[in-house]
Every structure is written in C-alpha cells, then in structure tokens.
Amino acid sequence: MMPLMTTKGLSRHFGGLRAVDDVDFALMPGEIRAVIGPNGAGKTTFVSLVCGRIEPTAGMIVFDGSDITNLPAHKRVRLGIAYTFQITSIFANLSAYENVALPVQRTLTDGRSKGQVHAGVTEALERVGLANRAHIPAGQLAYGHQRLLEVAMGLALKPRLLVLDEPTQGLADSEIENFTGLVREIARDATVLIIEHNMPVVMELADRITVFEAGRILAEGTPEAIRANATVQRAYLGGGDD
C-alpha cells in the first residue's frame, strides 16, 4: 500500500528558528496518526505546512501521488485535506447549523438542493453529538462544544485526510470518551492526523505516534514502542509540561 501523504526534507525557518527542520514523514491510508511533543516542538507548524497555511522554506509534500508543495490551502481542501482550525473557523453569530452548512455547500455540485444541504448538516452534527444544539449561535456554545463544531465542519467537507489540532481541549471526560469513538468511526472512511497533549487519548487512539522535538522527528512507532522509548521518556513523557 502506498502512503496517502509524504513529506521529504520538509523545513520551515523563521529567521534563525528552525521550526520544522528536514522532516521525512509518511502517512498511510486509514491510519490514525498522533503527533506529540513539547510546546515549541514544531507540531502545529508541521501540520500547517501539510494543510497549506504556510509555505515551506524547503522540501516537498506529496498527497495521493501528486506534488502539492506549492498548492494553496483552498485547493488542498478540494483534494480532500481538511484542517479543523484553518478551514473551519467558527462564525460566532451564526448558528451551529449555519456554520456547518457552509462547508457542506462546498462539497455539493451546482445542482445541490436544500434537502441535500440539510442532510449533510444533520449528519455532521449528529456525528459529533451537537444535533440538539443546531440552532444555538456558535458563540454561545461552551468552549468544548465549539471544538466539536469545528470537527463537524471538517467532517462536512468529506475529507480524505482530517487534521485535528488539540481537539479534546475543553471537553469533559464523558465528551472525550465519545470523541475517541468518533475518531475511530471517522477512520473507517478517512485518514486522521491528530495533535494531542492528552496522553491517555493518544495511547488509546493512535495506530502510530510521531514525536517531535526542536523541529525534528525524535521517534516514531506504535504506542507501546513510544511508551517504552527511553529517549522519548526523557524528552517528553517523563517531565514535559504539556
């Protein structure tokens, strides 16, 4: 099986800071891959490069066999890459329903109907557990529910690759349990790349884990291998502040 997405020598420098430094990375179709590491390790910069939020200083990104290194973010969305905190900005004065309707409309053809939009919105809201809050203005939702709304908006794009940046932040324990089930369900149809600091969630969900430190990949492997890796324990798991 060929990787869905790879990077080769991917780098992003901000002056003298090497936020992402010569990263080779491969993501397999249907995988749930977690990216972890201390604050400032380069995690968010890396996924921002993948999604087209920022341009690389050097290196290449290949998605489904095509070089997308210089492709703008909106064209990556059309290829099936959804990034919850970039593509799915919440409009506080619109209802949860209206927020999700916007990306649903992007997935439909010119012949779209109100029925198609409604079905797409309802499905996305039901999947994240927000159907009963559909008509509440997004700005009035609890912070954790706003995070789930962003996930719903990402799902509404019918992505092949869904990138989630700290999705469990602000969720109650019961909501985190439901969220892990949701991610497993999403992975039946899509590949999931998740940045997450909640280590129990990472260890439970991830097929493989990539550990970043100082812009580089420190280690990569199964949750069991990462948990047992002495270098990772020293750098992150044993004494990190996140």
Task: Choose one of 112, 136, 158: the last residue of a domain.
Answer: 158
The predicted model scores a pTM of 0.89
Residue 217, in any domain of the structure: yes
Residue type, 148: L
Same domain, 57 and 164: yes
Q: Which domain holds residue 64?
A: 1-80+160-168+191-242
Residues whose CB is less than 8 angstroms from the CB of residue 96 and which lie 6 or more positions away in sequence, other chains included: 125, 130, 133, 134, 135, 136, 137, 138, 141, 149, 152
Residue 38, in any domain of the structure: yes
Name the domain count of the chain: 2
Residue 23, in any domain of the structure: yes
Half-sphere exposure of 126 (CA within 13 A, CB side): 6
Per-residue pLDDT tens digits for 174-214: 889 988 999 999 999 999 999 998 999 999 999 999 999 99
Residue 175, in any domain of the structure: no
Instruction: Check: CB of residue 176 under 8 Å from CB of residue 198.
Output: yes
Q: Is 97 or 86 the better-scoring residue by pLDDT?
A: 97
pLDDT band at 86 (very low <50, low <70, confident <90, very high): very low
For the purposes of burial, counting CB atoms within 10 Å of the CB of 228, is it exposed (0-12), middle (13-18) or buried (19 or more)?
exposed
Residue 112 has what pLDDT?
63
For the purposes of burial, counting CB atoms within 10 Å of the CB of 230, is it exposed (0-12), middle (13-18) or buried (19 or more)?
exposed
Same domain, 13 and 122: no
Same domain, 3 and 76: yes
CATH number, domain with residue 61: 3.40.50.300
Residues whose CB is less than 8 angstroms from the CB of residue 37 and which lie 6 or more positions away in sequence, other chains included: 43, 211, 212, 213, 218, 236
Same domain, 72 and 94: no
Same domain, 74 and 99: no
Per-residue pLDDT tens digits for 124-175: 999 999 999 999 999 999 988 998 999 999 999 999 999 998 888 888 898 8
Residue 18, in any domain of the structure: yes
Same domain, 28 and 89: no
Same domain, 1 and 73: yes
Per-residue pLDDT tens digits for 97-109: 999 999 998 877 6
Residue 178, in any domain of the structure: no
Instruction: Check: CB of residue 71 under 8 Å from CB of residue 54.
Output: no
Task: Choose one of 113, 140, 158: the last residue of a domain.
Answer: 158
Task: Choose one of 110, 135, 158: the last residue of a domain.
Answer: 158
Closest CA to 153 of 88, 79, 92, 96: 88
Instruction: Check: CB of residue 14 under 8 Å from CB of residue 48.
Output: no
Residue 181, in any domain of the structure: no
Residue type, 11: S
Q: How far is CA 180 from CA 28, 29, 177, 224, in A?
A: 20, 19, 5, 18
Residue 91, in any domain of the structure: yes
Same domain, 147 and 111: yes
| Residue whose tokens read 């990462």 | 226
H helices present in 31-138, as ranges: 43-51, 73-79, 84-87, 96-107, 114-128
